[in-house]
Amino acid sequence: MQITDTAAIVTGGASGLGGATAKALAAKGARVFAVDLAGSIEKAEQVEGVTYVEADVTDPEQVRRAVDQAAGSGVPLRIVVGCAGIGPSARILSKKGSHDLNLFRKVVEVNLIGTFNVVTLAAEAIAKTEPLADDQRGVMINTASVAAFDGQIGQVAYSSSKGGVVGMTLPAARDLASQGIRVMTIAPGIIDTPMLATVGEEIRAGLAAGVPFPKRLGRPDEYAQLAIDIVEHDYLNGEVIRLDGSLRMAPR
């Protein structure tokens, strides 16, 4: 599927994986709508071809407004990349007591339910576009994590939410096949995002050393490159691709 002269929504699009993907899609000729929270948008690097839209992925009305804005941009909405997410850490039992249920609920609400909310509302808009070759109308790329498979100590909420995104992939692709919409998921390993920038160099070096090859942290632009490849490769559908340098996470 061609990217030029299409509209694309990227959630979490103000920075990190989403920021890199929004920039890459715009460079390919897409009209990009980067959806994020107000605080993140205020700090975002302004990129030509990218419109920043304030919305919380867990709020149906806010997401619907963002989808309507993209769908009404004058070019067909065909691409959705979901990068919005949070990753707080807590053990089921610790010296502080048991895992806070509200924290668990919040992580699932943002990472899993937020992803589903965007998929559902955007699919409704994409389904109304004119079909291309092979009756294709669009593609959705969601973001899981290697934690969906190799969750570490303290990642029970995060791993559960990302495992749900993995589990959503195939049935979503099957549900939307009749509408000509593909659904794929990327499961990144340790990527050098702003979230990781808050840790010290010693910790970063240790994380990089644990990657079999190449022995370094992944880059957001590598995620964006894979997202572009998925959009352009029409026969990729219903699958999860690990982007992790062959990393398998240890318990801690």
Active site residue 158: yes
In the set 52, 158, 223, 235, the catalytic residue is: 158
pLDDT at 59 over 80: yes
Domain holding 169: CATH number? Answer: 3.40.50.720
pLDDT at 193: 86
With CA atoms as reference, report the closest residue to 32 among 85, 64, 86, 69. Answer: 69
Tell me, yes or no, whether 231 lies in a domain.
Answer: yes
With CA atoms as reference, report the closest residue to 115 among 155, 160, 148, 81. Answer: 81
Lowest mean pLDDT among 48-52, 102-106, 175-179, 247-251: 247-251
Tell me, yes or no, whether 201 lies in a domain.
Answer: no
Tell me, yes or no, whether 82 lies in a domain.
Answer: yes
Tell me, yes or no, whether 213 lies in a domain.
Answer: no
Structural tokens at position 242: 């690990």
- This prediction has a pTM of 0.95
Indicate the pLDDT class of residue 38, thresholds 50, 70 and 90. very high
Model confidence over 118-165: pLDDT tens digits? 999 999 999 999 999 999 999 999 999 999 999 999 999 999 999 999
Q: Compute CA 27 distance to the chain's CA centroid, rounded to the nearest angstrom.
A: 19
Calpha distance 152→141 (Å, rounded): 25
Structural tokens at position 157: 């909420």
Mean pLDDT over all residues of the chain? 95
Tell me, yes or no, whether 207 lies in a domain.
Answer: no
pLDDT above 90 coverage of the chain, percent: 91
Model confidence over 67-111: pLDDT tens digits? 999 999 999 999 999 999 999 999 999 999 999 999 999 999 999
Expressed as residue numbers, the domain containing 20 is 7-189+219-243
